[in-house]
Amino acid sequence: MKNYELTLLIHPDLEMNMEAATDKVKDLIEKNGGQITKEENDGKKRLAYAIKGQNFAVYYYYEVALPPEAPKKIENVLNITDEVLRYLLVTVDERKLKYEAKQAARKPHAEDNNESEE
């Protein structure tokens, strides 16, 4: 399975009842053999330009692990889903993940050195 990032712009009228839209996306991912590793609601934001007549959208971010055939199936369904104004599904750069993990491992060690110097 490969790691992906999925960003959704959800219709702003659904802001008060996000569960229906997010449950639909979660079911879609799980039915296609995927696993959600991280989920984040970034809230309602103004768009740079109108999309489908909307000036605002609710931003939702997922980190998912998907089998090879799943991305195309998920994209096909998201294209016709009324709740989703736009989406972006991209692969995660494995080198970036390794670099970030390396930096995170160094950070606590660097803080320990700073404390001992004081």
Domain ranges of the chain: 2-93
Does the pLDDT value for residue 4 go beyond 80? yes
At the topology level, CATH places domain 2-93 in: Alpha-Beta Plaits (3.30.70)
Residue pair 62/9 in contact (Cβ under 8 Å)? The answer is no
Q: Strand 35-51 relative to strand 54-66: parallel, antiparallel, unpaired? A: antiparallel
Token pair in block for residue 69: 């055939």
Each residue's pLDDT tens digit, 25-83: 999 999 999 999 999 999 999 999 999 999 999 999 999 999 999 999 999 999 998 89
Is a pLDDT exceeding 80 seen at residue 111? no
Whole-number pLDDT of residue 109: 59
Provide the total of helices (H) and of strands (E) in the chain, helices listed first.
Answer: 3, 4
Q: According to the model, what pLDDT value does residue 110 have?
A: 53
In the structure, what pLDDT confidence band is assigned to residue 112 with cuts at 50, 70 and 90? low
Give the pair of three-digit tokens for residue 118: 């004081």
- pTM of structure: 0.78
Helix 18-31 vs helix 70-79: angle between axes, to the nearest 10 degrees?
150
